[in-house]
Structure 1
Amino acid sequence: MKTIATLTCLLFVLGSTWSYPQQDYFMDNHQDYIMDDPASVYDYDNTDGSYEEETSLDYDNLELPSFSVDEQTYAVQEGGDVDISFAVSGPTPYVPIVKKVSKDGKPEQLLFVGDLKIKKNKKYELKNNVLTIRDVNKDDAGEYMYFFEVEPVVELTHLLDVQYAPTITSQTPKNQKVNKGESVTLACEAEGNPVPKITWSRVGGHLPAGPQEEGHSMTLLDVDRHVEGTYSCKADNGIGNPVIEEMSISVIYAPEIVTEKAIISTGEGDKVELVCIVYSRPASEVTWQKDGSSVEHEPNMEETKGGHKHTLMLQNITEEMFGDYTCHAKNEHGESEATINLTDLPTPPHFTSDINGGEETSYTLTFETESYYPITEYQINYREAKTSDSSEEPGSWMDLGSLGVEDVDTKEMTHTLKYTIGNLTKATEYEVLAAVKNQNKWSNESSFLFSTKKDKPQSHASTSGSSSLLTTSTSMLVIAVVLLLN
């Protein structure tokens, strides 16, 4: 049977040295205590509540207690159990006291006086000088002292480090709108033990500085539409799973237009799509014009849109439909336009050969063009890019004239041609102009730079030989000097 004792009784036992808030306490049926003065061991009689002196001690010659362990830090994850050892060197008649030390303005907590459990909390247990704390939480972190009320005080303090998974909160709005050209900052705060590492990434993309950045905040400068999206702030300290907070950025800007093709080659009876990709925030109103006039309600023309893509469908092309088509976009922040040329001309040649030729005195030129009609001929002019290393003046043009089409590879509207230019100078850069013709008209010219094969690197054998000869001569000179000295 256990007896409930009041704080007054407890303080009498302790010699009225400590003062704590009044609360319920309990003690075992039979407990020995050392009184401050005189130095005697008393027995608490459960039957009548009196103390009777059992054994008188020589207080002056009583050996003070000591510890067989040093101060330590105990690390435990939240939710776990921990055993904190306060190993005492041998038995002692003194009564130990265990408390949690006051810190950060929080009051200290008296846990045990001897075997007397002060707080009615099942998570604490003291046995054989080992303090067990079960189901540890963040509030349990701190210093725990095991001491004896002697003169001088004998004490040992251990630190309990409670480790727990991080939590994260955004410090800036989760959805931010910013004008093009301005700067925007994203910030988040993480709490945990150990201190979490914070990394930033972009969902489905990269940050301006690379895949990831570290730190509590990230600032994007001179923003444009390319920074729009969702950004992730991740906190990780190795305890539990990382936590993530996502934030988004929207950029307010005037329309920006990208065309799929600036020139579209077609022919009578064909059908084509003219496509403008329009980016803006807020969304823009998009209209189409041909040669400055609206195409609305025109026969054989239909406007469609889906997301950023705005398309003008042209059916059954006639000669009158060739010309310049303009897509015009406008929102409250500005306007923009882009032009697409619809023509029956072949597109200017696009060169696909390597600029560095593999032959010393010849070069095979390859290029492609788009044309609704077959390519019937082409022409090539070329010249040296400069006449000598000391001159920036180009050479004279060599006109190969009109060349018939003998070797052409055609796939739908794309035609690939090649021609080998001979009698060239090795290791020389050349400029070439080319144009192609279909059954109707010549294309515009395109220019291209290429070079013939350069000389092979010179062998260094002679240099090595000279070095060997120099080394041999030096050695002979050294030997001669030594002989003269002797």
Structure 2
Amino acid sequence: MEKLWSSILMFLLLIIRRNGLCQNFAESFHSHPQQEQQQHHYGDIGTDEPQFITKGHLYRAVVGDTIVLPCKVKNLGSYVLLWRRGAAVLTAQNLMVTRDARFKMIDGYNLQISNVRVTDAGDYVCQIGDVEPRDQVHTLEILVPPSVRSVPDHGIISARQGGTATLECKATGNPTPHIYWFRKTAKHSSMPLGEGPVLILEQVGRQHSGTYQCKAENGVREAAYADVNLKVLSPPELSTERQWIHASESCEIEIVCTLQSDMNTDVSWYQNSFMLEPTDRRTMYSRGNKYILSIVNFRTTDFGNYSCVADNSLGRTKKYIEVSGRPGPTEFLSSQYSSHLDRYNLTFKIESLPDLDEIKLLYRKLMINETYQRPGNWNELVLYPSVSRYDSRHFVMSYIITKLEHNSVYEVMVQAKNRYGWNEVSDIHQFHTRSYGYVNENMDFIINSISMTSSGSDIYRKKFIIIFICCQFLAAFLLSVIT
């Protein structure tokens, strides 16, 4: 209907223009010669034809902006100037034909469009109305900032471990946006993982789980982003804080297993292959991804091998924890270097709630030369010494191994027993005897003090001890040279 009215309007304007010319011609034919000459001067359109001053051009505008399309004509005379888009007439002379309030004429016949929309794109014609219309065409291109969304819209993708994950984003905008992929982490990397609407990850593992980000940009204003969350489905993974836990009657213990799984997983507890249920002394609960078995008022029947078992639709995982009253592993506190030629002060710490009943100490010399290293025979000592408690759970003991050879390398192991039995033999601890000079008898104590001191308040004492040791060694060296 609007196109029909526009055509009718153009036709009427042409008729009005032609009638005006005929009327001027009739009046000039019957008028006074002087009047005829004056009328011919103002009404004749044949001498100076209208011409466009402006030229057709391609204009670009961002959605929401305001754009002005120019149209300037010289010698317009009584010709009618129109703005149209396709067959629809927008303006005729100073008359606004379109009802869209965003369009208006400014500075003569320039067409202003406010708050431009995507649908405003196209050709706009400034036309001089005549039997054979003359046109000037402006092309308007609307630039649209990028927008992007994940596919599917909820942005969650699942893939099986070892399989392929396909991540997808769709972007819109003008010009067509480019899409880049990144791994979204606390420390954002500037290197893209890929380019294009689809990112394919092959042989995915648990390390691929997390949030990925697609970035769409087309040079129009700011880039747009969308997140895709990838969940890699796999058999559960379990880890334990400790594989051995020390306990005694009446104490309280906690066994902790940490679960890693991106799908629904059941966790259960076993003791010596028997599934456990909650009791008045035994509770099971979770805190985040940590699963905890708590036992209070501990009894001897509670000793044994425990396991936490995780099950989901893709598999089962199990971790073992031993709960024992036997002494814990031995921790050596001594320095590796003795200050003496023929003896070594061995200091170690052992975890045990009950008192220690017996200690075995085994040591041997290593036969070392330029071509081989061969251990000697073990020497075994059984000790029943009085040992002092380091804290409520640990004992500390020192023993001086004598009759050693100077400038030699030795290995030592320790095993301890309480009322629940023997612990495992310790790892090998290696130490060296000195080769020359005189060193104060208390040097072992000083070296061990350095090894055992850890608090910040002892920093200055440590520095003093180190300086003192250096002076002792320097004095011993000078004495050996002189003698």
On whether the aligned pair clears a TM of 0.5, the verdict is yes
| Aligned residues between the structures | 400
CA distance, structure 1, for counterparts of residue 254 and residue 292 of structure 2: 6
Q: Which residue of 2 aligns with 1:83?
A: 68
* Alignment RMSD: 5.6
SS at match of 2:297: coil
Percent of aligned pairs with the same residue? 22
Compute the displacement of 1:340 (Å). Answer: 0.5
Compute the displacement of 1:268 (Å). Answer: 3.7
Q: Does 1:120 align with 2:108?
A: no
SS at match of 1:11: helix
Q: Which residue of 1 aligns with 2:341?
A: none
Q: Which residue of 2 aligns with 1:11?
A: 11
Q: Does 1:283 align with 2:264?
A: yes
2:45 aligned to which of 57, 65, 83: 57
Distance 1:283 1:169, change over 3 A: closer
Distance 1:381 1:205, change over 3 A: farther
Distance 1:181 1:6, change over 3 A: closer
Distance 1:237 1:446, change over 3 A: farther
Q: C-alpha deviations, 1:46-96, integer Å up to 9, x for none?
A: xxxxxx99723335xx456243567353434x33322233455x5544654
CA distance, structure 2, for counterparts of residue 420 and residue 191 of structure 1: 80
Give the partner amino acid of 2:270: Q
Q: Which residue of 2 aligns with 1:167?
A: 147
Q: Which residue of 2 aligns with 1:480?
A: none
Compute the displacement of 1:140 (Å). Answer: 1.6
Q: TM-score, normalised by structure 2?
A: 0.60
1:42 aligned to which of 21, 28, 33: 21
Do the aligned partners of 1:164 and 1:193 also contact (CA within 8 Å) in 2?
A: yes
Any gaps of 5 or more consecutive residues in structure 1? Answer: 16-30, 46-51, 101-106, 358-363, 452-486
Any gaps of 5 or more consecutive residues in structure 2? Answer: 25-38, 338-344, 433-483
CA distance, structure 2, for counterparts of residue 44 and residue 383 of structure 1: 134
Do the aligned partners of 2:214 and 2:226 also contact (CA within 8 Å) in 1?
A: yes
Distance 1:348 1:203, change over 3 A: same
Distance 1:41 1:384, change over 3 A: farther
Give the partner amino acid of 2:112: T
Q: TM-score, normalised by structure 1?
A: 0.60
Distance 1:413 1:328, change over 3 A: same
Do the aligned partners of 1:168 and 1:243 also contact (CA within 8 Å) in 2?
A: yes
Q: Which residue of 1 aligns with 2:234?
A: 253
Do the aligned partners of 1:203 and 1:230 also contact (CA within 8 Å) in 2?
A: yes
Q: Does 1:67 align with 2:53?
A: yes
Matched ranges for 1:194-343 at <5 A: 195-196=176-177, 198=179, 215-228=196-209, 233=214, 235=216, 245-280=226-261, 283-296=264-277, 300-305=281-286, 308-343=289-324
Distance 1:345 1:432, change over 3 A: farther
SS at match of 2:235: strand
CA distance, structure 1, for counterparts of residue 431 and residue 128 of structure 2: 93
Do the aligned partners of 1:381 and 1:397 also contact (CA within 8 Å) in 2?
A: no
Do the aligned partners of 1:435 and 1:442 also contact (CA within 8 Å) in 2?
A: no
Q: C-alpha deviations, 1:153-199, integer Å up to 9, x for none?
A: 97654443434444333333634443332222221212234655656
Compute the displacement of 1:394 (Å). Answer: 4.1
Do the aligned partners of 1:254 and 1:281 also contact (CA within 8 Å) in 2?
A: no
After superposing the two structures, state which structure 1 stretch, 196-205 or 160-169, moved more: 196-205
CA distance, structure 1, for counterparts of residue 166 and residue 228 of structure 2: 11
Do the aligned partners of 2:327 and 2:418 also contact (CA within 8 Å) in 1?
A: no
CA distance, structure 2, for counterparts of residue 6 and residue 206 of structure 1: 61
